[in-house]
Amino acid sequence: MSIFNLIFQFSQAQDSSFYDLTATTINGKPFQFSSLKGKKVLIVNTASKCGFTPQYEDLEKLYKKYGGDDFTIIGFPANNFLKQEPGTDEEIKEFCTLNYGVTFQMMSKISVKGDEMHPVYKWLTEKSKNGVMDSKVTWNFQKYMIDENGKLIDFAKPKEKPMSPKIVDWIEEAGN
């Protein structure tokens, strides 16, 4: 591969910034990812009828402990795996609030794979967009870690709990 091609690929990846992304909150309001500048962000695809659904509890604990000016969590309900998130946004919001006391930002239900994949997940899973790596969302509760500069750092597989050393150490690490 020529140096020109490498520079072109790098510039293409850099053209797609995390901070250019937008989504819709679970309350139907537009959300600009540019508002997350300076924060580490954990993005999680969620589902209410999954064996991993109890991870909402640890996600909320993580948010209560670290959330604020330096860290946040964004949940994206998705119905891609065995139809484990069949509810409407209102039903999902009620479920999360009543059962897990969720206070971190939840978004409107999206698709995290296939032809209908939301642009946020295209950015998370395509090296050509994030400039770091390709990945595939394998199940509900896969967790993506974005640093305070909007760079994708890594992801944790669905089985990995939110309070795992991998995630906690990343949050506590000063400047990546």
104-138 b/e (C-beta count within 10 Å ≥ 16 → b): bbbbbbbbbbeeebbebbebbbbeebbbeeebebe
Check if 50 is active-site.
Answer: yes
| Catalytic residue (choose from 9, 13, 50, 113) | 50
- For 102, left (φ over 0), alpha (ψ -120 to 50), or beta? beta
3-state helix, strand, coil in the chain (%, to 5): 35, 20, 45
Residues 84 and 98: their CA atoms lie apart, in Å, by 18
Residues labelled as active-site residues: 50
